[in-house]
């Protein structure tokens, strides 16, 4: 089985780079087989390593890059449980019970991540924020009201606000919106490195650079072949390779696009009340949040291609558009720009990730956070696979199978 794509995942300058903590030095390659080898040291791989070592597994994490320097370092890290595909729309496609079950599982994963971070005492700027979902071309005021009703029926904490209520509470131009609890913001690089450190403290090894080029699965386990000729053996392998997808395992319905973001200099926020996470119910939505050091981050302006050169040439133009649109979103002048970047971004038909066993490959598992909420889906993926690897699958595991869109 050939493994993953090689992509230029980001261009420009993400705002996390300047103050990013250094990754720990590479571990020595273990001299024995491990229970689980995780391919990928981004936020998904780190979340898996922490969870699996907590359960007592011996874990090896491998990455062709330094940990957290792929797509994770380009994340704008709005940690939300609401998916890009509204609950009401998903219910039309898969039925009410399945749709509500999937959304409740993501919500539970985000709240569990909050408990994990507090328990581990990670220094990653983890902060609870209200989430404000403004009307757009996916959901107008009437659609938002129906969405609020559906979420309440599913037991999820969302409330409809009128345009006047939004303006009064948050101090931004009034638009109908949903207000939800249970969302967070985070520094994604610090989170990833903190989770890896916790896993390493329990005996995990994190080896880099280590480019896994193929897998050879058998009855007893999997042999991982590296580009430099090394071979590693594990009882189980999890492919957590982010947007450099393991295409033989991931169906084409999970696609790649380009997304863009800017960050102001520190000290510009607050610009609206409660520093809510703001986004729009639109096909091509804009979103905004503030950071602990007072940056305002604005993202969006997605393009339906993944060519890195074409993406990076657009960064100056997209930065100007995001500065102008971001300012208008919060009722302000165009925002000052300190950092601007573009990144490869993964999408899925239902806005949810691909997690589960790889079809046709013994002992090989996939954890791909395609769909939008990368940090949230990393915690969900770790939870799903931890149960499946322990022989304790849940009834809703199939809801996130990589093959759920196939007949």
Q: Which two tokens stand for residue 224?
A: 């991982």
* pLDDT for the residue 395: 87
Q: Please name which of 404, 384, 190 lies closest in space to residue 291, comparing C-alpha atoms.
A: 190
Judged against a pLDDT cut of 70, whether residue 252 lies above it is answered with yes
pLDDT band per the 50, 70, 90 thresholds, residue 1: low
Element containing residue 233 per DSSP (H, E): strand 231-239
DSSP 2: B
Interatomic CA distance for residues 246 and 116, integer angstroms:
28
Q: Please name which of 50, 377, 392, 39 lies closest in space to residue 198, comparing C-alpha atoms.
A: 50
CA atoms within 13 A on the CB side of 336: 10
Query: Which of residues 2 and 275 earns the better pLDDT score?
Result: 275
Parse the chain into domains and list their residue ranges. Answer: 10-75+189-252+351-400, 128-183+254-347
* pLDDT for the residue 371: 85
* pLDDT for the residue 17: 65
Q: For residues 110 and 183, is the Cβ–Cβ distance under 8 A?
A: yes
E-assigned strands of 148-228?
Answer: 158-161, 177-185, 205-207, 212-217, 222-226
- Compute the CA torsion angle 5, 11, 16, 20 (nearest 10 deg): 70
Judged against a pLDDT cut of 70, whether residue 20 lies above it is answered with no
Distances (CA, A) of 307 to 303, 304, 331: 10, 10, 34
pLDDT band per the 50, 70, 90 thresholds, residue 344: very high
Interatomic CA distance for residues 41 and 239, integer angstroms:
10
* pLDDT for the residue 407: 61
Element containing residue 231 per DSSP (H, E): strand 231-239
pLDDT band per the 50, 70, 90 thresholds, residue 5: confident
In this structure, the strands spanning 59-62 and 34-39 are: parallel
> What does the pLDDT average to over 334-362?
95
> What does the pLDDT average to over 7-23?
81
Judged against a pLDDT cut of 80, whether residue 4 lies above it is answered with yes
Interatomic CA distance for residues 135 and 141, integer angstroms:
6
Q: Which two tokens stand for residue 88?
A: 């009401």
DSSP 334: P
Interatomic CA distance for residues 383 and 104, integer angstroms:
14
User: Phi and psi (nearest 5°) for 223?
Assistant: -100, 130
Q: pLDDT, tens digit, for every residue of 80-118?
A: 999 999 999 999 999 999 999 999 999 999 999 999 999
Q: Is 326 exposed, middle or buried (0-12, 13-18, 19+ CB in 10 A)?
A: buried
Q: For residues 103 and 87, is the Cβ–Cβ distance under 8 A?
A: yes
* pLDDT for the residue 329: 96
pLDDT band per the 50, 70, 90 thresholds, residue 227: very high
Interatomic CA distance for residues 184 and 220, integer angstroms:
41
Q: For residues 285 and 279, is the Cβ–Cβ distance under 8 A?
A: yes
Give SS3 for 132: strand
Q: Please name which of 263, 246, 262 lies closest in space to residue 254, comparing C-alpha atoms.
A: 246
Distances (CA, A) of 402 to 39, 100, 179, 253, 297: 17, 19, 31, 9, 31
* pLDDT for the residue 19: 57
* pLDDT for the residue 18: 54
Residue length, the chain? 407
Distance of CA 270 to the CA centre of its chain: 25
* Helix residue spans in 314-401 (DSSP H): 315-329, 374-389
CATH topology for 10-75+189-252+351-400 is FAD/NAD(P)-binding domain (3.50.50)
Strand partners, 160: 178
Classify domain 128-183+254-347 at the CATH superfamily level: D-Amino Acid Oxidase, subunit A, domain 2 (3.30.9.10)
Give SS3 for 6: coil
> What does the pLDDT average to over 275-282?
96
Task: Tell me the CA end-to-end span of the chain in Å, nearest whole number.
Answer: 24
pLDDT band per the 50, 70, 90 thresholds, residue 16: confident
> What does the pLDDT average to over 335-341?
97
């Amino acid at each position: 089985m050939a493994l993953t794509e090689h992509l230029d995942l980001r261009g420009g300058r993400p705002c996390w780079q300047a103050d990013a903590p250094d990754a720990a030095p590479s571990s020595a390659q273990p001299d024995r087989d491990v229970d689980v080898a995780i391919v990928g040291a981004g936020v998904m791989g780190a979340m898996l390593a922490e969870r699996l070592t907590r359960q007592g597994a011996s874990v090896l994490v491998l990455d062709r890059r330094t940990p957290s320097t792929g797509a994770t370092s380009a994340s704008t890290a709005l940690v939300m449980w609401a998916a890009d595909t509204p609950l009401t729309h998903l219910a039309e496609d898969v039925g009410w019970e399945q749709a509500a079950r999937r959304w409740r599982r993501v919500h539970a994963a985000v709240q569990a991540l909050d408990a994990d971070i507090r328990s581990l005492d990670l220094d990653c700027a983890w902060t609870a924020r209200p989430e404000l979902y403004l009307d757009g071309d996916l959901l107008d005021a009437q659609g938002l009201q129906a969405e609020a009703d559906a979420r309440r029926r599913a037991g999820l904490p969302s409330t409809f606000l009128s345009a006047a209520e939004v303006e009064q509470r948050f101090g931004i131009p009034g638009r109908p919106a949903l207000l939800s609890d249970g969302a967070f913001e985070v520094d994604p690089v610090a989170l990833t490195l903190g989770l890896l450190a916790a896993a390493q403290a329990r005996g995990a090894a994190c080896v880099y650079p280590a480019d896994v080029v193929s897998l050879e699965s058998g009855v007893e386990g999997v042999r991982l072949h590296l580009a430099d000729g090394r071979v590693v053996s594990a009882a189980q392998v999890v492919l957590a390779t982010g947007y450099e997808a393991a295409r033989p395992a991931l169906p084409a319905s999970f696609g790649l696009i380009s997304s863009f973001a800017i960050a102001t200099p520190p000290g510009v926020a607050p610009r609206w009340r409660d520093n809510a996470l703001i986004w729009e119910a639109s096909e091509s939505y804009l979103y905004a949040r503030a950071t602990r050091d007072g940056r305002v981050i604005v993202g969006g302006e997605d393009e339906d291609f993944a060519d890195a050169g074409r993406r990076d040439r657009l960064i100056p133009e997209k930065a100007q558009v995001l500065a102008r649109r971001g300012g208008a979103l919060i009722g302000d002048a165009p925002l000052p720009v300190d950092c601007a970047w573009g990144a490869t971004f993964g999408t899925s038909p239902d806005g949810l990730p691909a997690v589960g066993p790889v079809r046709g490959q013994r002992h090989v598992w996939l954890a791909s956070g395609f769909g939008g909420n990368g940090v949230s889906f990393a915690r969900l993926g770790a939870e799903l696979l931890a149960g499946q690897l322990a022989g304790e699958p849940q009834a809703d595991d199939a809801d996130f199978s990589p093959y759920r869109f196939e007949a």
